[in-house]
Structure 1
């Protein structure tokens, strides 16, 4: 039995001695494999795929110094391999697809002396192959705009088709371009760049159909014409710049009155409008206004001032390509009509005052009537039952109170005549002697 243990122990010691010679197995999980490609591509053209071994923690680990330490294993079927190049920590292959589709390409890395060991890193990508042309439609304008796909009307647009052909597969091909600008204008050119000017605002889609043709030697020693086509489009939003804001509204108003201010925007909607009421006309700062979305070229603002003073409407608007701001000064005066909250107390006070005035008027009228009756009784001719009052009292009452107690001028004149009969003359005749 002891003899059977010696061979097992020997194999364990042999593996322990080989462990320091396999640094890749210790480094498994510390590296990653990055894949890059110049695809997508059309059928028949060549595609380049590159795999690079890098440290997994942003490069803080140092790769081994040996340049023949790792081996790259590729699986690219059914793509046809046309070339391969290996370097110390990268590998590049070139493949061609004869049929369209999405093809997976995988690669993994092992140590150079142990192809069956656990991979140090692995990666996978899907390569799209199409039977049509590959490219992009690019629209540019001289005016630099911060909003994507937004352009100015009445300004030249440059529309270009950029063919994606890194392997120069179409180097001998001739191209024909059929353009449709979405506003009824169409044209055919042999140049992949055109210039166009939209005169109206709105959303448009510019389209181009590209046809590529070239001669190719056929298997029967003849020549044939091959073609590939492609349809491409780009969305455009043509707008006018916001040239200004017209503010229509009163400049003088009273407190507690509803004020309506009309904003007319000289530009293309939709607009993002922001306004703020300030004591002075100062530019708006970010986050200190009331944002409103406006889908037309006019908008009404309503406000009720509760305190008198000088105010300024600060208005700012922007569309997809420009921005404008405007100010509107308003002078607010105290209102001559108090608000409804003060109407009831004021009405109550006025009613009480009117009631008091009516009461005092009726009371004075009754008192005057009694005094007139007494005066008529006192100033009647003398009788035995009503002795005549003293002359001074009667005269004083008639002179002081008579004009106010009588109701008509005729009664007043009658009393005056009676007073002249009863009162003694206020003057005496003076005799003049001539010597």
Structure 2
């Protein structure tokens, strides 16, 4: 059975619709939509939101040559649309918020000849609308510093208010600025920039109140005064550059004696200190640091012990986030009068042994001389009838001492009398024997 004419027509229309959908489906995911705005905005001020169609990051496709191949669709309610501009692969709308709040804005892109087809790209953002003035407080210094957001004491601070008004909503308004620097200094100016000098380091906050007034025509052809305000603040930390390092400590010390030192930093902490000990004063290099310490105060205590006498020089470097300084400190080391502990025990042992040996020799000599004097009191001649109490000792003395006594008896007795006084006095008669 042949198909009816109406069935053939429906099939043709269905195939035609698929052919029209094919490019849009193939393009889906190959492009991206970038959405930006110049918000936040003040109520009543006009805001620009721009959407741009670009090729995706993972896509090597280029945009079509015909700039009118795609159409942008916006959703911006409850913002009031005041204008729209379409360019090549870009669309911009202008809207006004009559009430404060956060408002979502969405946009998607479709093929120009198939607006009901699947979007090739989409994006969204949230626009903030406020009743107050929109802007920011900027604080700078008239000093060229290598680190950003760095502020110095005793240097002029330039404090400025920058108004955010891309639509020139406040072009007819007059402004009044009230400044508060938290140290009792307050001022009111018509200029958006003031200069301030603070000599105390630390963190403080600058507060600013901005008032804008202008005339606006009322619906009843009467002019009214419109006023808007804004409150802003900015915190900053004032620091001092390192003007030098004061070293407190002795300049002369003995070897093997501890040398205490105190480093006083003339500047703002935290400070990183690095030092190296040399025999000459030379600039300190980064890889030559003996020790690197982080100090949270303006003082640092350190100590070292010198093992050898001589002239030494401490090369000291300190730096904080804004500056760096160097210092040299000379120390003269004298030979130590007290030997180190490693030699004390051997020396004490030797001295003790020497003293013991001397005492032993002295006692031994004294005992020996006493024995000799006592032996001299006996007559060891063969004719003598006086015998010693101990025969063994007598025989020993006869063998060792008799030859000397026989040769010089008078001289030996005289020496014994002088040294010990153990022999009878000279006036006492002495027995003599003839052989």
So what's the TM-score if we normalise by structure 2?
A: 0.83
TM-superposed CA distance for 1:313, in Å, is 2.6
TM-superposed CA distance for 1:152, in Å, is 2.2
Does the CA-based 8 Å contact 2:315-2:329 persist in structure 1? Answer: yes
Aligned: 1:72 with 2:84: no
User: 2:122 aligns to what?
Assistant: 122
Does the CA-based 8 Å contact 2:276-2:288 persist in structure 1? Answer: no
CA separation of 1:293 and 1:90: change in aligned 2, threshold 3 A = same
User: 1:56 aligns to what?
Assistant: 56
TM-superposed CA distance for 1:6, in Å, is 5.9
Residues 21-32 of structure 1 correspond to what in structure 2 (within 5 A)? Answer: 22-32=22-32
Give the aligned length: 414
For the aligned residues, what is the CA RMSD? 3.6
Distance 1:278 1:365 in 2: 60
CA separation of 1:253 and 1:314: change in aligned 2, threshold 3 A = same
Deviations 1:311-334 (A, max 9, x none): 443322223432212122334456
User: 2:302 aligns to what?
Assistant: 301
Does the CA-based 8 Å contact 1:27-1:120 persist in structure 2? Answer: yes
TM-superposed CA distance for 1:254, in Å, is 3.6
TM-superposed CA distance for 1:223, in Å, is 1.1
CA separation of 1:392 and 1:81: change in aligned 2, threshold 3 A = closer
User: 2:92 aligns to what?
Assistant: 92
User: 1:428 aligns to what?
Assistant: none
Distance 1:270 1:140 in 2: 22
TM-superposed CA distance for 1:377, in Å, is 4.5
- Which 5+ residue runs of structure 2 have no aligned equivalent? 388-397
Distance 1:334 1:401 in 2: 56
CA separation of 1:279 and 1:229: change in aligned 2, threshold 3 A = same
Residues 157-172 of structure 1 correspond to what in structure 2 (within 5 A)? Answer: 157-172=157-172
Does the CA-based 8 Å contact 1:369-1:405 persist in structure 2? Answer: no
CA separation of 1:202 and 1:390: change in aligned 2, threshold 3 A = closer
TM-superposed CA distance for 1:150, in Å, is 3.2
1:293 partner SS: strand
Aligned: 1:407 with 2:419: yes
- Which 5+ residue runs of structure 1 have no aligned equivalent? 423-435
TM-superposed CA distance for 1:179, in Å, is 0.9
CA separation of 1:242 and 1:395: change in aligned 2, threshold 3 A = farther
Distance 1:189 1:77 in 2: 40
Bigger CA drift: 59-68 or 326-335?
A: 326-335
Distance 1:361 1:68 in 2: 127
Deviations 1:323-377 (A, max 9, x none): 2121223344564434445544444443333333322221121112112223454
Distance 1:402 1:148 in 2: 106
Does the CA-based 8 Å contact 1:284-1:314 persist in structure 2? Answer: no
Bigger CA drift: 131-140 or 382-391?
A: 382-391
So what's the TM-score if we normalise by structure 1?
A: 0.83
Distance 2:358 2:314 in 1: 49
2:206 partner SS: strand
Distance 1:31 1:103 in 2: 26
CA separation of 1:398 and 1:172: change in aligned 2, threshold 3 A = farther
Bigger CA drift: 250-259 or 75-84?
A: 250-259
User: 1:360 aligns to what?
Assistant: 361
Does the CA-based 8 Å contact 2:212-2:229 persist in structure 1? Answer: yes
TM-superposed CA distance for 1:252, in Å, is 3.5
Deviations 1:212-236 (A, max 9, x none): 0001111121111110001111113
CA separation of 1:17 and 1:132: change in aligned 2, threshold 3 A = closer
CA separation of 1:51 and 1:286: change in aligned 2, threshold 3 A = farther
Residues 105-184 of structure 1 correspond to what in structure 2 (within 5 A)? Answer: 105-184=105-184
User: 1:425 aligns to what?
Assistant: none
User: 1:215 aligns to what?
Assistant: 215
User: 2:392 aligns to what?
Assistant: none
Distance 1:228 1:149 in 2: 30
User: 1:370 aligns to what?
Assistant: 371
Distance 1:33 1:279 in 2: 68
Distance 2:55 2:244 in 1: 57
Distance 2:252 2:366 in 1: 50
